[in-house]
Amino acid sequence: MVQSFLARIPLIISFPTIILSSNLIVPTYQDILEQHISHNINHNSNLHNEQDHFLFSDLIVRLIFLPLFASLSFVSIGCSVNIIKRRWSSVIPISLTFMVVSLLNFILNPIQTTVFTMVTVKKLIHNENNQIYDISMKSHIFNFMKTYLPLIGLCLIINCINEENRALSNFMSTSEPWYYLLLNFVIYLVLIILLRYTYPVLKYKLFDTQDDHNNAQEDNYIENKSTRRKVLISLILGSLASLATMLVLTIFYRASTLQLLMVFVYIGCVTIFFFSLKDSLIEYSQRMSDDGSNDQAQIATLQIPNFMTLIIGFMSISLQYLSFNKVASSFTKDLLTVVFVTLAEYISRVSIRLSYHNKQGYPIKSRVTSTTHNDHHHHNHSSQKQKKSIFKQIVLNKDTRSIFSFLLLNTTFMFVQLLYSFRSKSLGLLSDSLHMALDCTSLFLGLLASVLATQEASDKFPFHLKYLQTLAGFTNGILLLGIVCGIFVEAAGRVFKPTAIEETNELLVVAVLGLLVNLVGLVAFDHTGDGHNHGDNGASSDNMRGIFLHILADTLGSVGVIISTLLIKLTNLHIFDPIASIMIASLILLSSLPLLKSTTLNLLLKLDTKKHNSVKNALNQITTTPGITGYTTPRFWPVQPNASEHAHSHGGSQHSENDHDHEHDHDHGHEHSHNSQNGHNHHHMSKNLDKCTLVGYIHIQYAEGENSTIIKKRVERILENEGIQAWVQVEPQSSSCWCRTTSMSSVINPNISSN
């Protein structure tokens, strides 16, 4: 439950952010007005002279290229993440719809757009498939009106008394309000009609007959592959071209300047949106396939839950507040907006209840299965197979999943913060959000490592990647050290050269938000950490510890910022800022040192006492074995890194074993599919590394006259009993071998090779 909610947070945040940032790519009229007012208080005439020229190009940008860019980039990202199928038939309607959405954005404000879209999408998902064709036109239109008219009415009311839009009408030199009202109404009508006709198409494309298509695709997939590539390339090219056109227009035709940062935020948010959507889809389909019997309970999770519209609406309101420092221009309008959002929630429920038939589960199911089918399809044939499976592994693994959702959340928050920093023009926040990007990178590293560690052995890594997680933990420790050093240096600078901190309010807001996000992350981590992870093995616990420390460091950072800002506000002493940073930095340092130590020892292949003893025992037994005169180079190292001291094993051995089995199964399946595909002879080590704790090699010298095979068997049995998998070289005492002619130290010593 916590899981699925956590996974949904990025969706909730990113969706309004997409709408808002797409709106902000070209500065709003309000911004432009403000700027103009602040700029040219003296020369108003200038403004009017430029207006015609400005307006024309500006409208072109706003009405054609911006929606074009938004929808094309949206769809192309969706395609590359494989949410949207790469076929013209599915790409075109979706991009058209999104164009409509962003046109809507032009007329309405982001809050209203968000809510409208939500209502429509909810209707789309929850209504039954064939219903649209069955019901007569009349009742259908009636249905539509019932859904949208109240909303539109409220919108009109809000917009009518909206000064921002009056500013727009000023720009368009249409000062009469009724004209504006009429214009709006016409636009709405057009929209509804548009929606009415795109609606079935959309629905059809989204949900229906995917499987048939896919089956057809199986036959001539090469052809489809090329079309898929074509679709993707043309989409990307199209979005780039529209962006370039916008740039050209803004530079040469003096349209309002393009906000490239917002483009960045927009694209990032769309990416996150799709990733988290995919995340929940995959997880959902997995659950469906796991227990198909319990349909009813499952369906509820993918349906847009009841309060989703409300939540997203409020999220959008708060975003609006963050970026404009107000929701609407007056209190009544604020109130009306809230009413609007609530009404949308109510309407969406009512309209669904209208069409709430028995078969309501069907469309969703078909959609989900088609998605999985597509995944599967892709998995088999695309060159991206590797990446794909990594994503799936991340999502399907319980431990990594919550961390993945947290990563998405963190990234979303980063983008929101970027947006906010841009709006509030605060550079402190800007650098903070970039710092967050670094955090996200290291989180991602840890995540990637934990998934890659389950990969099968290859020629390059014959012993699997068992140490990868430890390495990731080590890397995270090093990065933490770097961060700490950075903080120390900066704090020292501030001690000697105190700088007054402005923007304390913004700082507080963001720090509190960041604290919230990080707390969510800690909860998510705790959730996985307690239940599943700690018992596993040293490797993953090292990795998880690295991730955990990162999140903890961030949390501490936000706490420090909050406290120091409050203290500064109260006392006006700026010394608190560096003091807080130094304290936090030393806390992070202290917590990361043990991590560094344990990972270092593990990477040096150190044996813990238990393993040490088992090696000793084995060697003792070997020496007492008859026929053996000696052994050389007994080198044994742990198959898996030792568990670190701090890892408390909650799960118990039983659990970890289960986990391990699961992983193994997965590996095997993977290899198998690979085999069937290429006829590749895959790497199968004759030694079975699963059951042992140590792996290594030893050379055994036997006395003349002994049978080497028997000696070898004996040694192998001894080693096996101690849990050691070893390569045993058996050699007669009289023969020579490198292990006896040279001391083994000298072989290793790196100094020598250079001489």
Partner 1 sequence: MDGSNEKQLHSSATTPVMNAIKEEEDMPPTPIEPVTSEFKTPYLGNETTNMSSTDLFQTAKATFTNSQVQTKFMSPPVAGFYSAKDGNNSSSSLIYNSGFTFGDSNNNGGTNTSSSNTPTKTVPVGVPTASNFKREPRRNSLKYVPGSKLAPPPISRNRSPIRNTSPEVIPTSKRSSTYLESPFNFTQGHHEPPKTTITSPHKSTPPSSAGSRTSFRKGHRYKHSSVSMNFFQETEVKIPLNIAKSLPIPDFGDILQNLPWPKAHIQLVIVSLQLLLGISIFFIGNAKAWSNFITLSHFITYDIIGSLAIILIETLSHFEAWFTGTITFPFGLNRVDVLLSFALAVSLCFVGLDLLFHMLEEFIAIFVESSNPDHHSDIVAQIPHSHHDGMAAGQLISGYNITMWYAVVLFSLFLATLSLFKTFYANTNSKLKTKNPMITIIYSFYLLIFPSLPDNLSNISDYVASFLISMFILVHGLTIAEWTSTILLLGFSTTVLPSSAFLLDQDTHSQNQLEDVNSHNEKMNNVSNGLNKVIMGRKRSASSLPVATSMKNHHCNDDSILNSFLSIFKFKKSGNRRKFNNPSNIKAIIKEKIENLSEFKSRCHLNDGDLIIIKTNFSLFIVLLKIDLKGGSNDDETSLRFAVDKCIKKCLPNSETTIEIDRI
Among residue numbers 122 through 141, which ones bind partner 1 (CB under 8 A)?
none
699 near partner 1 (CB under 8 A) = yes
Site for partner 1 in 386-415 (CB under 8 A): none
- Rounded to whole angstroms, the Cα distance separating 224 from 584 reads 55
Mask for 61-100, x = binds partner 1 (CB under 8 A): ----------------------------------------
619 near partner 1 (CB under 8 A) = yes
100/447 with CB nearer partner 1: 447
36/349 with CB nearer partner 1: 36
- Rounded to whole angstroms, the Cα distance separating 703 from 307 reads 81
Pick the binder of partner 1 from 562, 587, 603, 689 (CB under 8 A): 603
Contact 173, 348 (CB under 8 A): no
Q: How far is the CB of 630 from partner 1 (least distance, A)?
A: 4
Pick the binder of partner 1 from 385, 627, 663, 667 (CB under 8 A): 627
475 near partner 1 (CB under 8 A) = yes
Question: What secondary structure letter does DSSP report for 462?
Answer: T
Site for partner 1 in 203-232 (CB under 8 A): none
Upper half-sphere CA count for residue 19 (Cβ side, 13 Å): 30
260/519 with CB nearer partner 1: 260
| H or E segment to which residue 504 belongs | helix 504-528
> Vertex 663, ends 657 and 667: CA angle to 5°?
145
747 near partner 1 (CB under 8 A) = yes
Q: Which stretch binds partner 1 (CB under 8 A): 59-67, 146-154, 577-585, 675-683?
A: 675-683
Q: How far is the CB of 706 from partner 1 (least distance, A)?
A: 8
733 near partner 1 (CB under 8 A) = yes
Pick the binder of partner 1 from 154, 231, 447, 465 (CB under 8 A): 465
461 near partner 1 (CB under 8 A) = yes
455/558 with CB nearer partner 1: 455
How many other CB atoms are found less than 10 A from the CB of residue 683?
13
163 near partner 1 (CB under 8 A) = no
Beta bridge partners of 731: 701
463 near partner 1 (CB under 8 A) = yes
How many other CB atoms are found less than 10 A from the CB of residue 448?
15
40 near partner 1 (CB under 8 A) = no
Q: Which stretch binds partner 1 (CB under 8 A): 40-48, 56-64, 73-81, 615-623?
A: 615-623
Contact 666, 493 (CB under 8 A): no
689 near partner 1 (CB under 8 A) = no
557 near partner 1 (CB under 8 A) = no
152/465 with CB nearer partner 1: 465
Q: Which stretch binds partner 1 (CB under 8 A): 145-153, 506-514, 516-524, 735-743?
A: 735-743
607 near partner 1 (CB under 8 A) = yes
- Rounded to whole angstroms, the Cα distance separating 194 from 202 reads 12
Site for partner 1 in 291-320 (CB under 8 A): none
- Nearest C-alpha neighbor of 112 from the set 184, 27, 58: 184
Q: Which stretch binds partner 1 (CB under 8 A): 8-16, 336-344, 560-568, 705-713?
A: 705-713
510 near partner 1 (CB under 8 A) = no
Question: What secondary structure letter does DSSP report for 304?
Answer: P
Pick the binder of partner 1 from 55, 183, 566, 737 (CB under 8 A): 737
How many other CB atoms are found less than 10 A from the CB of residue 216?
11
703: buried, middle or exposed (CB in 10 Å: 19+, 13-18, 0-12)?
A: middle
Q: How far is the CB of 254 from partner 1 (least distance, A)?
A: 14
Question: What secondary structure letter does DSSP report for 695?
Answer: E
- Rounded to whole angstroms, the Cα distance separating 645 from 656 reads 17
Long-range contacts of 559-562, Cβ-Cβ distance < 8 Å, separation of 24 or more: 559/515, 559/584, 560/584, 561/507, 561/511, 561/514, 562/508, 562/511, 562/512, 562/515
606 near partner 1 (CB under 8 A) = yes
- Nearest C-alpha neighbor of 98 from the set 170, 15, 172, 171: 15
- Rounded to whole angstroms, the Cα distance separating 110 from 158 reads 13
Pick the binder of partner 1 from 164, 522, 637, 663 (CB under 8 A): 637
Total of chain residues touching partner 1, rule CB under 8 A: 114
49 near partner 1 (CB under 8 A) = no
Pick the binder of partner 1 from 21, 109, 259, 412 (CB under 8 A): 259
- Nearest C-alpha neighbor of 430 from the set 315, 327, 507: 507
Sign of the C-alpha dihedral, residues 406, 410, 416, 420? positive
703 near partner 1 (CB under 8 A) = yes
628 near partner 1 (CB under 8 A) = yes
Q: How far is the CB of 246 from partner 1 (least distance, A)?
A: 15
How many other CB atoms are found less than 10 A from the CB of residue 38?
8
| Contacts with 184 (C-beta within 8 Å, 6 or more apart), sequence order | 107, 156, 159
How many other CB atoms are found less than 10 A from the CB of residue 232?
16
- Nearest C-alpha neighbor of 383 from the set 232, 275, 269: 232
629 near partner 1 (CB under 8 A) = yes
Site for partner 1 in 476-505 (CB under 8 A): 478-479, 481-482, 486, 490, 493, 499
